[in-house]
Structure 1
Amino acid sequence: MKLPPLWSGVLLARYKRFLADIRLDDGRIITAHCPNTGSMRAVNVPGCRVWVSWHDNPKRRLAWTWELIELPDGALASIHTGRANALVQESIESGSILPFDTAWSLQREVRVGESRLDFRLIREGQPPAWLEVKQVTLKEDDGSGYFPDSVSTRGRRHLETLMALRSRGDRAVLIFLVAHTGIDRVQPAAYLDPAYARTFHAACEAGVEVMMLGCDITPEHITACRYRRLY
């Protein structure tokens, strides 16, 4: 994925979930949109170098969007959760990383009961494959990546939906999109959300597949490139 032109600066503060104050390298202090509704535990680090994009849409309240952060250990992370699905879709359409390819017809944002899952893939002669994508940026001191980074009732509901789909014979897949160059393994964050972790393990036992897709990140590109089947 090619990123739009980015400007670099230093993070001053993230607040009210959707706002971030940043000092650009030219000295200007801007307020950028923060496209991440999570706690951003471990990637909301004032004083770190960050990158922002600029948009000239007059309908936008804020022209700047926070895109990347360079963490104290040198790892780069994308905080823009809206890019996760696009990266997974690119991987499916390229047919070179995930165990899906263009032989599958892809539908986005498909409602299932009270939930909405990210993708439904259809291929003649095979059961539908349902995919839910979760972006991972939380790295702890043990080197592992964890999800979620706070209590996630919605994430637990998605797992329950995947289990129900699997029980009727469909293929159900959870994809951890790891948008952090320092993470190479992922596990449920039982210490932050025990209920999610319990549901995660129940989903694995019920036949829900769990895949990890890692990324190489630069201020010019984000490339999904490291696939691993976890369950």
Structure 2
Amino acid sequence: MIIDNPLMGIYLERPNRFTMAVDVGGERKLAHLKDPGRLKELLIPGNEVLIRKAAGKERKTEFDVIALRRGDEWVLVNSGFHSDIAASLIKSGLIEEFHGFAVKKREYRFGRSRIDFLLASESEEMLVEVKGCTLVNGEVALFPDAPTLRGRRHVEELASALSMGYNSSVLFLVFGENARFFSPNIEMDPEFSYALKEAHDKGVNVIAYSFRTVLDCSVLVEPVRRIPLIWP
């Protein structure tokens, strides 16, 4: 995926969950942060941030946040791009579980939830929920970085779909090319972690794939590797 027209800023503070104050050329500007996580390892005053001018005239924020600096890499922190990144990965053929499937519908209503994708092959249908993961501790990617009741509900819905004849998958997009393993973050959210393990044991595919975010004239988000799971 290519994201055009990035601008560089300096992170100042997070006035609320979805708003970031950024220094842009010496001026304080507000940017929309489309990531509900805590992002404690990224939201450090003085850290570099990539933003772009927002569309729409009725907004309170002038910019959208794209990515934050972590060491020598950029970390995508905008969930608005997750669906297109996942669709491209599904289509790429890189993931065995998706071979023979194509996207039938996005934002598919199932049970009490909207699941990100309904895929279809010649003989089967598969539900796919996509989660973005930004927390990397050493070589281990961890999800979530904040408790997520919604995430647990999605996992439970996917497990229940198996008995109705669907295939089900959870796809974790790991934004950190140094990650070599993925684990549910049991210390942060044991209920989600246990729900994910139970769903996996019942037959839900749990897939983690790492990505790098490269800044040139544009922002390029590209796949790196599938990473194995570690269960707590």
1:79 aligns with: 77
Deviations 1:85-112 (A, max 9, x none): 110111223x332333675242101111
Number of aligned positions between the proteins: 226
1:15 aligns with: 15
> Helix, strand or coil: the match of 1:47?
coil
**Structure 1 residue 182: Cα displacement:** 3.2
Are 2:128 and 1:131 aligned?
A: yes
Q: Report if the CA contact (8 A) 1:213-1:224 is conserved.
A: yes
Distance of aligned partners of 1:4 and 1:159 in 2 relative to their CA distance in 1, 3 Å threshold = same
**Structure 1 residue 124: Cα displacement:** 1.4
Q: Which amino acid in structure 2 is aligned with residue 197 of structure 1?
A: S
**Structure 1 residue 41: Cα displacement:** 3.2
**Structure 1 residue 83: Cα displacement:** 1.0
1:166 aligns with: 162
Q: How does 1:142-221 map to 2 (within 5 A)?
A: 142-219=138-215, 220-221=219-220
**Structure 1 residue 167: Cα displacement:** 2.6
* Counterpart-to-counterpart distance in 1, 2:180 and 2:154: 24
Q: Which amino acid in structure 1 is aligned with residue 102 of structure 2?
A: W
* Counterpart-to-counterpart distance in 1, 2:139 and 2:55: 39
**Structure 1 residue 68: Cα displacement:** 0.8
Q: Which runs of 5+ in 1 are unaligned?
A: none
1:60 aligns with: 59
Q: Percent identity?
A: 25
Q: TM-score normalised to the size of structure 1?
A: 0.90
* Counterpart-to-counterpart distance in 2, 1:103 and 1:203: 21
**Structure 1 residue 75: Cα displacement:** 2.6
Deviations 1:129-157 (A, max 9, x none): 110001000122x4311111111111111
Q: Which runs of 5+ in 2 are unaligned?
A: none
* Counterpart-to-counterpart distance in 2, 1:113 and 1:19: 31
**Structure 1 residue 171: Cα displacement:** 0.9
Q: Which amino acid in structure 1 is aligned with residue 108 of structure 2?
A: V
> Helix, strand or coil: the match of 1:221?
strand
Q: Which amino acid in structure 2 is aligned with residue 198 of structure 1?
A: Y
Q: Report if the CA contact (8 A) 1:129-1:170 is conserved.
A: yes
Q: Which has the higher strand share?
A: 2
